[in-house]
Structure 1
Amino acid sequence: MTSVQQSIALAPQSSCDADLAAGPWVFDLSPGYGPGASEADVLPDPVVRPGQLPEAYQQMDEAELHRRIRAAKQTLGDRLVVLGHFYQRDEVVQHADFVGDSFQLANAALTRPDAEAIVFCGVHFMAETADILSRPDQHVVLPNLAAGCSMADMADEDSVETAWEELLDVLGETEPDGRASVVPVTYMNSSAALKAFCGRNGGIVCTSSNAATVLEWAFQRGRRVLFFPDQHLGRNTAKAMGIGLDAMPMWDPRRPLGGNTEEALRSASVILWHGFCSVHRRFSVAQIEQARAQHASVKVVVHPECPMPVVDAADAAGSTDFIRKYVAASQPGDVIAIGTEVNLVNRLAAEHPDRTIFCLDPVICPCSTMYRIHPGYLAWVLDGLVEGEVRNEIVVDAAVAADARVALERMLAALPKS
């Protein structure tokens, strides 16, 4: 099956941005999240960009890059583990020892105790989580330091601290029944600093798999939840639990009290941060309607980071792992339209050739930041390890890691609902 990278190069007019066909090193020093990113993405301030990939690796052909990667992996053996996120391009995933979502991969690294280096082919917050959960003597490497996450950047530590202070000024710290007035919940797709914030303030981390369990945990301890950074996962999860939309005000960090009245905050059950995933925000009800018009028997499954009307119009919604299991449980001849990142959708289609599987969005638009990982960067960091040099190491401050680990351990105990 033609990879996403090949499709973009062969027919760039079908892509949300033809510049995706270029090497990501072209954009490493430019502001923004790169080709394909949503125009609505809010850039962090200040924008920090690392140096570029050495020119020699920019100029190598794909065959040589893959040869170098394989040779380095063979040389390093058990001293190395390479992790590849589900949304990575095929050209990178083929070299991964484990493929999964961010938390699955962080846990997978723990199964390789002899590994001196953990190379995380994902984005920055994922590598941070791996570093928090890894041993002190292990090195976590992110092949391209420009591989960030626009959603994670929509909730920075200063903005969340400010929001927290404003909320406590209005709500106080505790309720008459002794519960907390508000409990912070951060999605896995957030910085180590925000995971640490939750650890310090009685909060917890969630994944898209266990979000409902985590919200139940939070409501046992508090009257309200401050959920960040993804409004859509928070809204879809809370709505499925029976919480009304009028009890889910949005918090806009650019406005006093998040743009809310004190009464609205007092009446709230879940306060949603104004953040979103650029990839999942692209999916629409119109795309679902078109899929149903073209395929009478189609089943539509989407990720809960999609907007609420899309989730409501779909046949099923769930995490990346849920989507994979949904496809695996289908029957030969079934038609399935999927609302999530196109690299994963194409891979599922290749794994199940006896079914018709396609992405709801007809325009090829991979995650622009995940796409920053390229075989050139992987070859460069692996060559460095062979030479005894750790390049692009991710190190979380010890105090931050300690608080973040508290919130992550709470998440580990919150098992997903079956």
Structure 2
Amino acid sequence: MSTVSLTLQPRPIDPSVDHEIQAIVAGSGTGSTCNTDLAAGPWDFDARPGYGPGASMGDVIPTGAPRQPQLPQEYRDASDEELDARIRAAKQTLGDRVVVLGHFYQREEVVRHADYVGDSFQLANAAKSRPDAEAIVFCGVHFMAETADLLSGADQAVILPNLAAGCSMADMASIDQVEECWETLEDVFGDMDTPDADGLLPVIPVTYMNSSAAIKGFVGRHGGIVCTSSNARTVLEWAFARGRRVLFFPDQHLGRNTAKAMGVPLEQMPMWNPTRPYGGTDEATLRDSRVILWHGFCSVHRRFTVDQIAQARAEHPGVEVIVHPECPMDVVDAADSAGSTDFIRKAIAAATEPTTFAIGTEINLVQRLAAEHPQHEIFCLDPVVCPCSTMYRIHPGYLAWVLEALVAGTVLNRITVPSSVADPARVALERMLAAKPAGAPA
């Protein structure tokens, strides 16, 4: 009697966070979500001020933040299948006239239509690679669309499908607050534009990519530079070669984790809280500082905790824990490694043997990685399903709406940065592009 050898195939994994949330709310799925309103259409919240369901209660949206007009009824009523078909048809009609960019944290139902998928800077560069496209549809958040406008051609229209897709972290450092901080630092250090005997300026401003174009413009005007989570160390090295200290905003955690890894003592990294007089610090502390950290953070990455890591290690012996450097310092210290979204993706792709990974970053990316690498067990450190509230404001209905408008010859939700801001912001971005890690080829 012959025997047949069967090879067990890895189970298919549904990468759709929306499907999981719908099942949880309907009672047919396991687990929990941070807000059951995430199961509703984002258009239910367009008229309300705020970042949307799932946002931290502490994230207060600035007055005057962009609002999205009500999405036409036909898009709100359309089924997932109809929207998918309409998006595909519009893209086919438009052809090379349009390029769709999808951030890693976008819902699966949107990312599947993207011509390029990546982080904010990778996508801005992708836009640069398509100079002949008449329109760039950026499925991300507001500051990302601004950056794409900075780096794309003047004749290209950058479109954000939902104007309400902002970023609470970027909003934690307004241009007025940063300029007020800078004025205080001028009172402490005097002339900020004149180097000392060693050729160093008193303060070099460094802004994370996750900031408004106005903030990038401020940095460009004051001899500063932009960084990403991938090159933060290289950028800090660039800044320390030119200044005594760095003002780092808006994310305190990326600044602290990066500077600590470079050997900067914690006591030389005071916090600047823009809601407090003198930033909540004092002149002596500022003079002794190496990195002045802005009191900002990512609400998604702040959800990850050391207790979650301990639970993952207890339940999955041998688990490899990888977190994003926007996580708090104690979480980064407790993890096996920390790095950008690209670092996380590459670490998983490089694993040659089946491995269990616990990932501390946005759930849409984690579930997509789990679907792409079924040979591994990949799960999010946070057991509560809570996507980035503002990324989640981009729904296929909005994507279909702006694409079909382009087919009809109408540009909706165009994002433009005025030249008075764009010119110095490009300078800050160009400095970042020119900054190379030590030992890298010129």
Match of 1:232 among 227, 249, 253: 253
For the residues of structure 2 that align with 1:236 and 1:44, how far apart are their CA atoms? Answer: 27
Query: What does residue 399 of structure 1 align with?
Result: 420
Q: Can you give the 5+ residue segments of structure 1 that lack an aligned partner in the other structure?
A: none
- For residues 357-406 of structure 1, the C-alpha deviation after alignment (integer angstroms, 9 at most, x for no partner) is 11000010000000000000000000000000000000110121111000
Q: Report if aligned partners of 1:183, 1:221 keep a CA contact under 8 Å in 2.
A: yes
Where 1:209 maps in the other structure, the secondary structure is coil
Say whether 1:210 aligns with 2:228.
no
Q: Is the 8 A contact 1:204 1:214 kept in 2?
A: yes
Deviations 1:250-288 (A, max 9, x none): 000011220101000000000000000010000000000
Provide the rounded CA distance (Å) in 1 between the counterparts of 2:437 and 2:134. Answer: 31
Cα distance in 2 between the residues matched to 1:47 and 1:137? 26
Q: Alignment partner of 1:170: what SS? A: helix
Are residue 108 (structure 1) and residue 126 (structure 2) matched? yes
Matched, 1:150 2:163: no
Q: How far apart are 1:331 and its partner, in Å?
A: 2.7
Confirm whether residue 371 of structure 1 aligns to residue 384 of structure 2.
Answer: no
1:256 to 265, 277, 288: 277
Q: Which one of the candidate residues 135, 139, 142 is aligned to 1:121?
A: 139
Identical columns (%):
71
Equivalent in 294, 301, 313 of residue 322 of structure 2: 301
Q: Identify the range of structure 1 (100-109 vs 165-174) with the bigger mean alpha-carbon deviation.
A: 165-174
User: Partner residue of 2:80?
Assistant: 62
Distance 1:69 1:207 in 2: 31
Separation in structure 2 between the aligned mates of residue 153 and residue 55 of structure 1, nearest angstrom: 31
State the 1:47 CA deviation.
Answer: 4.2
The CA distance in 2 between the partners of 1:134 and 1:47, in whole Å, is 24
Q: Report the secondary structure of 1:278's partner residue.
A: coil
Q: Is the 8 A contact 1:331 1:355 kept in 2?
A: no
Say whether residues 1:29 and 2:47 are aligned partners: yes
The answer to whether the aligner puts 1:91 opposite 2:109 as a matched pair is yes
Deviation at 1:45, TM superposition (A): 2.7
* Aligned residue identity for 1:150: S
1:352 matches 2:373: yes
Mapped partners of 2:436, 2:82: distance in 1: 44
8 Å contact from structure 1 (residues 155, 229) kept in 2: yes
Rounded Cα–Cα distance in structure 2 between residues aligned with 1:391 and 1:41: 28
Residues 270-281 of structure 1: pairs in structure 2 closer than 5 A: 270-281=291-302
Structure 2 residue matching 1:300: 3-state secondary structure: strand
Contact 1:117 1:139 in 2 (8 A): yes
Q: Which residue of 1 is the match for residue 28 of structure 2? A: none
SS at match of 2:364: helix
Whose Rg is larger? 2
CA distance in 2, matches of 1:307, 1:129: 26
Deviation larger for 56-65 or 278-287: 56-65
**8 Å Cα contact 1:209/1:416 also seen in 2:** no
2:362 maps to what in 1? 341
- The aligned counterpart of 1:9 is 22
Aligned-pair CA distance for 1:193: 0.3
Helix, strand or coil: the match of 1:66? helix
Separation of aligned partners in 1, 2:170 and 2:210: 5
Deviation of the 1:113 alpha carbon: 2.2
User: What is the CA–CA distance in structure 2 between the aligned matches of 1:179 and 1:206, rounded to whole Å?
Assistant: 20
1:232 touches 1:306 (CA, 8 Å); kept in 2? yes
What is the Cα-based RMSD across aligned positions, in Å? 1.1
The structure-2 alpha-carbon separation of the partners of 1:274 and 1:385, relative to structure 1 and needing over 3 Å to count, comes to same
**How many residue pairs end up in the alignment?**
418
Shift of the alpha carbon at 1:176?
4.1
Q: Pick from 184, 200, 204 the counterpart of residue 166 of structure 1.
A: 184
C-alpha contact (below 8 Å) 1:121/1:143 kept by paired residues: yes
SS of match in other structure, 1:129: helix
Q: TM-score w.r.t. structure 2 length?
A: 0.93
Q: What is the rounded CA distance, in whole Å, between the counterparts of 1:350 and 1:33 in structure 2? A: 28
Corresponding residue number in structure 2 for 1:288: 309
2:146 and 2:265 map into 1 onto residues whose CA distance is 35
Structure 2 runs not aligned, ≥5 long: 1-12, 26-30
Paired residues of 1:249 and 1:272 also in contact (CA < 8 A)? yes
Structure 1 range deviating more: 50-59 or 181-190: 50-59
Deviation at 1:38, TM superposition (A): 1.0
What is aligned with 1:265?
Answer: 286
**Runs in 1 of length 4+ with deviation above 6 angstroms?**
none
Give, as a single letter, the amino acid of the residue that structure 2 aligns with 1:9: Q
1:12-68, CA deviations, whole angstroms, 9 ceiling, x for partnerless residues? 361010100100011111122111111221321344423121122111111111111
AA partner of residue 126 (structure 2): A
Q: Kindly provide the amino acid, as one letter, of the partner of residue 309 in structure 1.
A: D
State which drifts further: 316-325 or 167-176.
Answer: 167-176
Partner SS, residue 84 of structure 1: strand
Q: 1:76 corresponds to which letter in structure 2?
A: L
Distance 1:253 1:20 in 2: 31
* Aligned-partner Cα distance in 2 for 1:274–1:176: 32
CA distance in 1 between counterparts of 2:409 and 2:67 reads 25
Alpha-carbon distance, 1:94 to partner: 0.3
The answer to whether the 8 A contact 1:211-1:416 is kept is no
